[in-house]
Amino acid sequence: MKLLFDRLSSTLEHALDFRLERTNMISANLANVDTPGYTPVDIKFDEQLGDFLAGQNPPSVNQTDTRHLGATESAPRGDVEFDYFSLPDQDGNSVDLDHEMSKLAQNQLLYRATTKVYSKRMALIKYAIQEGG
């Protein structure tokens, strides 16, 4: 049973959540392309994911009593920051459509790749249960 809920599965699930959150942020940037004074935002995740995979997790809560449930592994979190890619126009809006669309395309590719890895992993587990004996 531990194989189903191991670190890789957890990481893939959090990566999918991150990709969805980033899609929502990019969509918000595109929706505000005509909003005066709007500065686009982006979420950075790669550095936190690398630290998580290297075992450099943030400090966790210690279990003070054996009857308490153990702390679950904390997932990496992305850092939201302003995306200062282009200069603001006359209204102070700095959303660049081409840049936002390229970020969206890249994010979609990475989402599809992550879902493919996750589905292959589940297919392998299913095979092991049904055919592996």
pLDDT band at 129; cut points 50, 70, 90 = confident
Total-model pTM: 0.72
- What tens digit of pLDDT does each residue of 39-61 get? 999 988 777 667 666 766 554 55
Q: Which residues pair with 41 in a beta bridge?
A: 82
Residue 70 has pLDDT above 60, yes or no: no
- What tens digit of pLDDT does each residue of 5-39 get? 677 888 888 889 999 999 999 999 999 999 999 99
pLDDT at 131: 77
∠ Cα 43 49 50 (to 5°): 125
Tell me the residue type at 7: R
Integer Cα distance of 2 and 90 in angstroms = 57
Inter-axis angle of helices 7-31 and 97-130, nearest 10: 150
